[in-house]
């Protein structure tokens, strides 16, 4: 077993050295991901290190050589020119993927994107579905939506209500047990959601905002130490929510038929086809045993009320 | 595939070992092990598949008895719809023609 | 170092116990696209993260195989009613024959071989069943190049499945200096179960793999090619091994087979090279530097690459092709779904 420590216990020097020497590995949930940065110390210290410190403070990292990893994400310039002139960054997940170069100061976005890419496309021991997961004492709520459908605001709001964050971007399911696996990385927020979440969670829970990204303004709501502490604790799914945020919409909740839920979940999986029979069985289990609801709402309060009503058995 | 399926004497079958099937009321899902594809079936395609599971049957017999099996008349369950559904099922590989099969009615563990 | 790696990957040597060395080996296997094959040998013999990495690789290759077997089935169904019995080549053959060479192997494109005078008909039947010419070679320039100089049609892609199918009518391109006698090999091909497609004999599979690895000159994943040859050689019984050289001479593949046997002897310690067989000094050197990953690797690759293209095309056509190709841009798919 490698030696690992919370990032807060590792010095800047060590982090930077191990990033450049391809020795830094993140140990979170079921995955060990190697991180590498092909930039000089100054660039790493300015653009990459702060994001790691803020968002992964209590997450375990190792700086040892020879740690086996599930995959590697290499942050580097798209070509030699862009290392120095109007520097850019791309996340290289180690396989052919069309890169969208970002300006170097958007390194946090590149890192998160690189991690998303590698989880979505290179992990086959679990069924991976787009969507977030939070859990209470009696089970997990799967919030199934593509990026930017109000899913992340809802996730953040449920965290505020005391739910544990399992993950924001992906629902990760163990095909043997159909349990939800935690991978508590920061919750990514866009545009209006940023202020909305700031207002109920507090400014200190949100990272600095990146403006003018290809998707507008982006910021991250940190995973809390309690979320990260419980990263090895799984949850049994108990509810599936398909949320739609529509400004000024009247709050509405509707039970979704099993077959419909399955038909919506399958295309939102990134590796369903690769898993074959194992993936199918998970979907059939979810459809058979877990209730699914569609909710439409125009505000955070409304969405929370709807979920409360659903859990209280008041929606049929 | 032969156009005049309703006269077609060819024997068809669905091998239960090749698939997993789950039912949710009016809708069923079938996982085809060979292709790795997941298919959604309605009551019509389900009716055709059910009758062919491990049971070699001539195509025309399946077609002929479909309305009766789903509890409808030919008016409500027109022949072109049945034929189209049969073809779609065949395209998935869930049901297949047994070449040169003898027309017997034995239930076979495929 | 790499010589050890190859033997470790196929299980001839134990895995390194030192963590950094083990990690290097895993990274090498990943880069060379042979992690799945390595996993197949070593799964259930490790624990912890290593076991998880192997399990992951095996699930991925199992999905590949399922797709490959189904693709063969779809091609057979598409060609029903024609008189064409395609020969399944390379990875597709190994998978459908369930050879050792297929275990844990990543496969994607299906390669088939049909007689030259049936190519148009084959394409027609396949188009009716939903294959179309792949967009990446769909511009006129590439199409013309493929038809004139290459040994295959432009790759076809299935409309709904997105899978790639390569239809060959020869085993090397028209301009290649080394050209296998595909007619002889096709004549001896044996039927796959189900009786609607064929594969080469075990000896011919080895010869084809050897010529694919060593006369094309691309050798981009040397470990993968050598491991493939290793398993294909293991697949030959003593009688077949004795017949290998004479068959290679017969079908025009002696040179690549000689190199293969030399490489198998050198990298896997196999006793298969007779003393009177020589390997061209320059080629042997080039291969050695590529596999051993030394600082001269780029020189080795360049020598093999130019040689490969030289063998494929007369030079006067080669240069304009290279120059023009650089300026044709490929459209990139949208990445914004992965950007929050």
Q: How far is CA C73 from CA A52, B92, C331, in A?
A: 50, 12, 32
Confidence of residue C147 (pLDDT cuts 50, 70, 90): low
Q: Is the pLDDT of residue C306 over 90?
A: no
Q: How many helices (H) and strands (E) does chain A have?
A: 12, 19
- Taking a C-beta distance cutoff of 8 angstroms, is the pair C190, C1 a contact? no
Give per-residue pLDDT as tens, A19-35: 999 999 999 999 999 99
Q: Is the pLDDT of residue A293 over 50?
A: yes
Q: Could B22 and A287 be called an inter-chain contact, meaning their C-beta atoms sit closer than 8 Å?
A: yes
Closest partner residue to C60 (CB to CB) among A32, A69, A124 is A124
Give CATH for domain B5-98.
Answer: 3.90.930.60
Question: Average pLDDT in the C51-74 region?
Answer: 95
| Best of A124, A266, A275, A284 to mutate (most B CBs within 10 Å, chain B) | A284
Closest residue on chain C to A114 (Cα): C338
Burial environment of residue A257 by CB neighbours within 10 A (0 to 12, 13 to 18, 19 or more): middle
Confidence of residue C214 (pLDDT cuts 50, 70, 90): confident
Residues of B in Cβ contact (< 8 Å) with A273: 36
For chain C, list the strands marked E by DSSP.
87-89, 110-113, 131-133, 156-158, 164-168, 190-191, 198-199
Question: Which of B:62-91 have CB within 8 Å of C?
Answer: none
Report the distance separating Cα C91 and Cα A73, nearest Å. Answer: 30
Report the distance separating Cα A183 and Cα A169, nearest Å. Answer: 9
| Best of A62, A93, A98 to mutate (most C CBs within 10 Å, chain C) | A98
The domain spans of chain A are: 5-122, 127-311
Instruction: Please tell me if residue B33 touches chain A, with a CB cutoff of 8 Å.
Output: yes
Q: Which of A238, A129, A234, A132 is nearest to A186 (CA)?
A: A132
Residues of A in Cβ contact (< 8 Å) with B26: 259
Report the distance separating Cα C30 and Cα C38, nearest Å. Answer: 10
Q: How far is CA C274 from CA C242, C243, C262, in A?
A: 11, 13, 9
Q: Could C66 and B35 be called an inter-chain contact, meaning their C-beta atoms sit closer than 8 Å?
A: yes
Q: Which of B31, C181, C1 is nearest to A273 (CA)?
A: B31
Give per-residue pLDDT as tens, C70-125: 999 999 999 999 999 999 999 999 999 999 999 999 988 999 999 999 998 999 99
Q: Is the pLDDT of residue A112 over 60?
A: yes
Give per-residue pLDDT as tens, A221-248: 999 999 999 999 999 999 999 999 988 8
Classified as helix, coil or strand, A294 is strand
> Secondary structure of B44-67 in the HEC alphabet?
HHHHHHHHHECCCEEHHHHHHHHH
Length of chain B (residues): 110
Sheet with C198-199, strands from edge to edge, namely C131-133, C156-158, C164-168, C110-113, C87-89, C198-199, C190-191
Confidence of residue C148 (pLDDT cuts 50, 70, 90): low
Instruction: Please tell me if residue B1 touches chain C, with a CB cutoff of 8 Å.
Output: no
Nearest-CA distance B37 → chain A (Å): 7
CB neighbours of C338 closer than 8 A, spacing ≥ 6? A113, A116, A117, A120
Q: What is the pLDDT of residue A82?
A: 81
CATH class of A127-311: alpha beta
């Amino acid at each position: 077993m490698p030696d690992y420590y919370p990032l807060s216990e590792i010095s800047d020097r060590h982090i930077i050295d191990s990033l450049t020497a391809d020795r830094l590995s993140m140990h979170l949930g079921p995955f060990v991901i190697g991180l590498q940065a092909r930039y000089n110390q100054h660039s790493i210290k300015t653009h990459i290190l702060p994001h790691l410190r803020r968002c992964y403070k209590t997450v375990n990292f190792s700086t040892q050589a020879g740690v086996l990893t599930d995959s590697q994400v290499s942050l580097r310039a798209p070509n030699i020119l862009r290392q120095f002139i109007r520097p850019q960054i791309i996340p290289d997940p180690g396989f052919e993927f069309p890169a969208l170069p970002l300006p170097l100061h958007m390194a946090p976005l590149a890192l998160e994107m690189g991690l998303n890419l590698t989880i979505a496309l290179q992990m086959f021991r679990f069924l991976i579905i787009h969507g977030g997961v939070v859990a209470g004492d009696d089970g997990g709520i799967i919030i199934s939506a593509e990026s930017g459908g109000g899913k992340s605001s809802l996730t953040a709001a449920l965290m505020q209500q005391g739910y544990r964050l399992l993950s924001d971007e992906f629902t990760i399911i163990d095909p043997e047990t159909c349990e939800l696996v935690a991978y508590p990385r920061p919750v990514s927020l866009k545009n209006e959601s940023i202020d909305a979440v700031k207002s109920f969670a507090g400014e200190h829970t949100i990272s600095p905002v990146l403006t003018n990204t290809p998707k507008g303004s982006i910021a991250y709501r940190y995973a809390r130490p309690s979320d990260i502490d419980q990263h090895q604790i799984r949850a049994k799914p108990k509810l599936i929510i398909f949320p739609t945020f529509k400004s000024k919409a009247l709050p509405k909740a509707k039970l979704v038929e099993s077959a419909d839920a399955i038909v919506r979940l399958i295309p939102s999986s990134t590796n369903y086809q690769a898993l074959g029979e194992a993936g199918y069985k998970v979907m059939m289990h979810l459809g058979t045993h877990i209730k699914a609801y569609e909710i439409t709402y125009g505000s955070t309060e409304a969405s929370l009320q709807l979920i409360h009503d659903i859990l209280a058995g008041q929606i049929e | 595939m032969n156009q005049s399926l309703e006269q077609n004497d060819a024997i068809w079958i669905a091998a239960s070992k090749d698939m997993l099937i789950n039912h949710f009321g009016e809708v069923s899902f079938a996982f085809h092990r060979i292709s790795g594809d997941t298919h959604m079936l309605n009551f019509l395609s389900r009716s055709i598949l059910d009758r062919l599971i491990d049971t070699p049957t001539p195509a025309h017999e399946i077609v002929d008895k479909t309305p009766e099996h789903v509890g409808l008349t030919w008016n409500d369950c027109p022949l072109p719809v049945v034929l189209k559904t049969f073809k779609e099922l065949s395209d998935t590989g869930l049901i297949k023609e047994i070449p040169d099969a003898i027309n017997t009615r034995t239930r076979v563990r495929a | 170092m790499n010589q050890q790696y190859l033997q470790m990957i196929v299980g001839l040597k134990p895995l390194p116990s030192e963590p950094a060395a083990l990690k290097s080996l895993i990274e090498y296997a990943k880069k060379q696209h042979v992690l799945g094959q390595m996993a197949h040998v070593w799964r259930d013999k490790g624990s912890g993260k290593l076991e998880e990495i192997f399990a992951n690789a095996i699930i991925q290759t199992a999905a590949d195989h399922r797709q490959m077997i189904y693709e063969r089935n779809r091609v057979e169904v598409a060609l029903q009613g024609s008189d064409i019995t395609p020969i399944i080549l390379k990875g597709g053959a190994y998978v459908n024959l369930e050879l050792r060479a297929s275990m844990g192997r990543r496969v994607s494109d299906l390669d088939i071989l049909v007689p030259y005078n049936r190519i148009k008909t084959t394409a027609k039947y396949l188009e009716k069943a939903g294959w179309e010419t792949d967009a990446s070679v769909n511009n006129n320039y590439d199409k013309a190049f493929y038809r004139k100089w290459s040994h295959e049609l432009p790759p076809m892609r299935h409309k709904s499945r997105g899978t790639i199918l390569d239809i060959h009518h020869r085993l090397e391109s028209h301009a290649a200096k080394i050209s296998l006698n595909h007619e002889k090999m096709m004549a001896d091909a044996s039927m796959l179960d189900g009786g609607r497609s064929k594969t080469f004999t075990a000896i011919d599979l080895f010869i084809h793999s050897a010529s694919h690895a060593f006369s094309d000159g691309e050798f981009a994943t040397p470990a993968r090619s050598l491991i493939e040859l290793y398993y294909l050689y293991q697949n030959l019984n003593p009688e077949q091994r004795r017949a290998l050289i004479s068959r290679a001479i017969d079908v025009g593949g002696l040179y690549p087979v000689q190199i293969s046997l030399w490489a198998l002897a050198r990298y896997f310690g196999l006793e298969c090279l007779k003393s009177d067989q020589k390997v061209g000094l320059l080629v042997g050197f080039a291969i050695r530097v590529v596999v051993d990953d030394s600082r001269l690797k780029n020189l080795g690759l360049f020598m093999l690459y130019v040689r490969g293209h030289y063998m494929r095309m007369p030079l006067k056509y080669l240069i304009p092709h290279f120059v023009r190709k650089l300026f044709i841009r490929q459209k990139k798919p949208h990445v914004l779904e992965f950007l929050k």
